[in-house]
């Protein structure tokens, strides 16, 4: 990308995630503007542009990528299209911010990283919880040994088929392996497993199993995994998306030699037990949940900061997910 003092964005795939979580933030971050959106359905693209005050819309991705007014691309399509659009944008010399999961499998993610290296173009992955105050505070508590030396980490995400945590769409593409890989596990676990890596580093050993128990769709609906993390920390995790509603839980638990940190990745409270005292910390999420991350991405694209989530970071969590889901 040539020297510039403002990032002018084009969005490829202006679906549900861009309505509130990300799209409006591009116009609220300093030195950033949303210039154009693209969706294959021209009527929906035009509607999105009209409702959000976006100057241009396209139904063809190449046309948006080659628009001279655009100098950065946000890829927010279903995962099976991430690679093609991201690579095309990087080959056009435009830095890319791509939704999680980075792609549908590890090989695709590695090709995307290779394209970034070959073209010398910046690539950042939307593991946006890395920029939220709640998770930054948790990371700081771990670093400061608030609960002593970390011994174990446990994740348990048990949800019924119809859950507020699970995004519902008309065509239910999130449970189509051809579109999204290992179903809801690949949709939701990236948020959790990226945080494991952000807090503790890449694992030393990974083991996993998965199955389709309920037969509601082709993708896996239950996954279990174990990891040996740096610092001699042991991890266990379970994910199931077809439990009775009364059994649902969303737990991320870090146990240490002197206490415990327990929270939900999809909610806003953190429960800390340290020095024999229990404390509840509450965090107010931003109106647009990706705005803190987009702020960091803009600074990175302008050459004023580091990459808040590089391809290698996302490859690390994808490698874990692939091992958990496929052995």
Q: Parse the chain into domains and list their residue ranges.
A: 7-127+289-309, 133-285
Instruction: Please tell me the CATH superfamily of domain 133-285, with its number.
Output: Dihydrodipicolinate Reductase; domain 2 (3.30.360.10)
pLDDT value at position 86? 98
Encode 18-49: b = buried (16+ Cβ within 10 Å), e = exposed.
beebbbbbbeebeebebbbbbbeeeeebbebb
CATH 3.40.470.10 is right for the domain spanning 7-127+289-309: no
The answer to whether domain 7-127+289-309 and domain 133-285 are alike in fold is: no
**Which residue is it, tokens 């993610």?**
109
Question: What is the Cα–Cα distance from 240 to 159, expressed in whole angstroms?
Answer: 6
**Whether pLDDT at 35 is above 90:** yes
With vertex at residue 126, the alpha carbon angle to CA 197 and CA 116, rounded to the nearest 5 degrees, is 90
Q: What is the mean pLDDT of residues 287-307?
A: 98
Residue 173: band (very low, low, confident or very high) from pLDDT cuts 50, 70, 90: confident
Cα torsion through 16, 21, 22, 23, rounded to 10: 60
What rounded mean pLDDT belongs to the chain?
95
**Whether pLDDT at 277 is above 90:** yes
pLDDT value at position 119? 98
- Residue ranges of alpha helices (H) inside the chain are 16-19, 42-52, 61-65, 82-91, 106-119, 133-143, 177-180, 183-200, 291-301, 311-326
**Whether pLDDT at 164 is above 70:** no
Q: What are phi and psi of 42, to 5 degrees?
A: -60, -40
pLDDT value at position 148? 98
Query: pLDDT for 236-260, tens place per residue?
Result: 999 999 999 999 999 999 999 999 9
| pTM (predicted TM-score) | 0.94
pLDDT value at position 4? 76
Helix (H, G, I), strand (E, B) or coil at 82: helix
Cα torsion through 108, 113, 119, 123, rounded to 10: 110
Question: What is the Cα–Cα distance from 324 to 211, expressed in whole angstroms?
Answer: 11
290, 32 in Cβ contact below 8 A? no
Query: pLDDT for 49-108, tens place per residue?
Result: 999 999 999 999 999 999 999 999 999 999 999 999 999 999 999 999 999 999 999 999
pLDDT value at position 166? 64
């Amino acid at each position: 990308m040539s020297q510039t003092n403002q990032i002018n964005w084009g969005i490829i795939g202006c679906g549900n995630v861009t309505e509130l979580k990300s799209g409006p933030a591009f116009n609220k971050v300093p030195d950033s503007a949303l210039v154009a959106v693209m969706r294959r359905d021209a009527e929906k693209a035009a509607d999105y542009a009209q409702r959000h005050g976006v100057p241009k819309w396209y139904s063809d991705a190449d046309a948006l990528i080659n628009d001279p007014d655009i100098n950065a691309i946000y890829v927010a399509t279903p995962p099976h299209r991430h690679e093609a659009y991201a690579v095309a944008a990087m080959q056009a010399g435009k830095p890319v911010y791509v939704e999680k999961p980075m792609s549908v499998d590890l090989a695709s993610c590695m090709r995307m990283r290779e394209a970034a290296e070959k073209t010398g173009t910046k690539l950042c992955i939307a593991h946006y919880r890395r920029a939220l105050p709640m998770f930054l505070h948790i990371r700081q508590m771990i670093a400061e040994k608030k609960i002593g030396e970390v011994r174990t980490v446990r994740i348990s995400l048990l949800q019924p088929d119809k859950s507020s945590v699970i995004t519902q769409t008309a065509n239910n593409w999130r449970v189509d392996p051809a579109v999204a890989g290992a179903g809801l596990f690949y949709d939701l676990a990236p948020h959790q497993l990226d945080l494991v890596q952000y807090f503790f580093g890449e694992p030393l050993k990974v083991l996993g199993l998965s199955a389709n128990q309920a037969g509601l769709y082709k993708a896996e609906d239950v996954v279990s995994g174990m990891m040996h993390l740096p610092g001699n920390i042991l991890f266990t995790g379970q994910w199931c998306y077809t439990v009775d509603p009364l059994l649902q839980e969303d737990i991320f638990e870090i146990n240490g030699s002197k206490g415990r940190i327990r929270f939900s990745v999809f909610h806003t409270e953190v429960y800390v037990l340290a020095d024999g005292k229990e404390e509840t910390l509450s965090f107010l999420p931003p109106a647009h949940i990706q705005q803190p991350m987009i702020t960091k991405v803009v600074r990175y694209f302008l050459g004023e900061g580091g990459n808040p989530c590089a391809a290698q970071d996302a490859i690390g969590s994808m490698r874990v997910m692939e091992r958990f889901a496929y052995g």
